[in-house]
Amino acid sequence: MSKLHILGIAGTFMGGVAALARELGHTVEGSDQAIYPPMSTQLEQLGIELAQGYLPGNISPDCDAVIVGNALSRGNAAVEAVLNDGRRYTSGAQWLSEAVLPGRTTLAVAGTHGKTTTTTILTYLLEAAGRTPGFLIGGVAEDFGVSARLGQGAEFVVEADEYDTAFFDKRSKFVHYRPTVAILNNLEYDHADIFPDVAAIQRQFHHLVRTVPGHGRLIVNGDDARLDEVLAMGCWTPVERFGFDAALDWSARLIAADGSAFAVLKNGVEVGEVHWPLVGKHNVLNGLAALAAVNAVGVEVATVIPALARFRSVKRRLEVIGTHDGITVYDDFAHHPTAIATTLDGLRAKVGDARIVVAMEPRSNSMRLGAHADALAPSLDGADAVVFLHRPELAWDAGKVIADVRGDARAVPDTDALIAALRALVQPGDQVVFMSNGGFDGAPRRFLAALQD
């Protein structure tokens, strides 16, 4: 077995790669610029040695290969050292495709939104069917306690990201996986740092479609016109569409307005009712796509639907981290206006007239570049008050966004000020949602601790 160093190990994808490599028997070490839970906790529990910062000296001289995360680029000191020393290197996606996926039935979940949740639901359903799948999820699944495992069964479920692979491979990561079944959940403009427009993203999705075999299956959101345009570029695989329209191959009929209960229909015939802890129409669609995908590999969906009542989702997906004095605090991974809006819509349907207060860190590359600045304020219509963490490096005009927010809105320069502002703002019964796709300086738990003090 080899000794591997993973650059960018604390990212959700690369942390999963580390877990799989360790399970295969490799010695694994890694480094990252920002190491925070839940991934840091998982890596420490696996006994993987972590080093802070991308320093050449953090890579052990006896490493056989370096796996490079896509956050690193030329000019990074560790990258330059790897190249200058003539070390073997590869990307996380390529390593996965060569070391784990051969011989497996791969199910890939792609889309701008809902990838992590859908991948987790799909894995959970296969587990409920007794398939013991392998998986790599872009987050820590509550029901499994880890973000990745090899599994004993034929199936391997992978969250299929459209972001580029590495500094030396600008293809989307998902073209490496060559799935038998691919879910195309939705497609919107995102990743403004690497894609000039939505057409560039569609081209990458087309490349994914090209890799799915004729005996496989494409599970496609039937209400997404951009995905229709992708399929019009060429499709060689049977397609099943899902959505709320009963004319689709797979459809849902809401039983509860908040999405916590819905009927599942296949070709217009009801096959079961889902009653689960998740809320929001977006999660209904995520669940419907996962059910269609497990059906594509021979699972009778009626036999696994009841298991969803016990499904616990993923950390940081509207995760309740605690309550105090009637105030509920949530931690949510948010990176795109559509995801923000659908999450708040689902929470509103659940909590009724209770006040929703959002603490928002616009941190994704697209947010930082201002690509979503115009859509950010409308996405927060479901909130009664918003406090933005406006770090100095953010390019968008916070003043304009604040002026356009429907409810009370303000910006603060750091997390200490954010926690102080929230403490002055909240009252018993409030639902406080922290939204960020980063560590947020531990703000959700720091705020809860401040309430308890």
At 27-47, the pLDDT tens digits run 999 999 977 777 788 888 888
pLDDT in tens, 373-392: 677 888 899 899 999 888 87
pLDDT at 369: 53
Given CATH 3.40.50.720, say whether it is the number of domain 3-92: yes
pLDDT at 395: 65
The three-class DSSP label of residue 145 is: coil
The pLDDT of 299-316, averaged and rounded, is 91
Residue 367 pLDDT level (bands cut at 50, 70, 90): low
pLDDT in tens, 147-156: 999 999 999 9
Sheet of 261-266: strand order equals 148-149, 134-136, 155-159, 105-110, 181-184, 217-221, 239-243, 250-254, 261-266, 269-275
Site of tokens 């000191």: 77
Cα dihedral 300/304/308/310 (nearest 10): -170
The CATH superfamily holding the domain 101-310 is Mur-like, catalytic domain (3.40.1190.10)
Quote the crossing angle between the two packed helices 443-452 and 415-425, to the nearest 10°: 40
Residue 118 pLDDT level (bands cut at 50, 70, 90): very high
pLDDT at 422 over 60: yes
Residue 297 pLDDT level (bands cut at 50, 70, 90): very high
pLDDT in tens, 216-268: 999 999 999 999 999 999 999 999 999 999 999 999 999 998 899 999 999 99
Task: Provide CB contacts within 8 A for 261, sequence distance 6+.
Answer: 254, 255, 273, 274, 275, 276
User: What DSSP line would sit under 322-384, residue for residue?
Assistant: EEETTEEEEEE---SHHHHHHHHHHHHHHHTTS-EEEEE---SHHHHTTTTHHHHHHHTTT-S
Residue 400 pLDDT level (bands cut at 50, 70, 90): confident
Tell me how far apart the alpha carbons of residues 351 and 153 are, in angstroms, rounded to a whole number: 40
Greater model confidence, 109 or 398: 109
- Average confidence score pLDDT of the chain: 91
Residue 251 β-bridge partners? 243, 265
Tell me how far apart the alpha carbons of residues 380 and 383 are, in angstroms, rounded to a whole number: 6
Sequence ranges of the domains in the chain: 3-92, 101-310, 319-452
Look at the domain 319-452 and name its fold.
Protein-Tyrosine Phosphatase; Chain A (3.90.190)
> Comparing 56-60, 210-214, 382-386, which segment has the lowest mean pLDDT?
382-386
Residue 366 pLDDT level (bands cut at 50, 70, 90): low
The pLDDT of 304-314, averaged and rounded, is 91
CA-wise closest residue to 229 among 203, 249, 191:
203
User: What DSSP line would sit under 21-89, residue for residue?
Assistant: HHHTT-EEEEEES---TTHHHHHHHTT-EEEES--GGGS-TT-SEEEE-TT--TT-HHHHHHHHTT--E
pLDDT at 129: 98
The pLDDT of 48-64, averaged and rounded, is 94
pLDDT at 442: 87
pLDDT at 339: 80
pLDDT at 372 over 60: no
pLDDT in tens, 407-419: 888 889 889 999 9
Do 219 and 293 contact (CB within 8 A), yes or no? yes
Tell me how far apart the alpha carbons of residues 260 and 333 are, in angstroms, rounded to a whole number: 20
* CB atoms inside a 10 Å sphere around CB 73: 11
Tell me how far apart the alpha carbons of residues 451 and 453 are, in angstroms, rounded to a whole number: 5
Residue 335 pLDDT level (bands cut at 50, 70, 90): low
CA-wise closest residue to 52 among 4, 2, 7:
7
The pLDDT of 322-329, averaged and rounded, is 92
Residue 436 pLDDT level (bands cut at 50, 70, 90): confident
Residue 189 pLDDT level (bands cut at 50, 70, 90): confident
Please, what is the end-to-end C-alpha distance for the chain in angstroms?
50
Instruction: Kindly tell me the burial class for residue 257, based on how many C-beta atoms sit within 10 Å of its own C-beta (0-12, 13-18, 19 or more).
Output: exposed
Angle at 402 between CA 398 and CA 407, to 5 degrees: 160
pLDDT at 83: 98
pLDDT at 77 over 90: yes
pLDDT at 391: 80
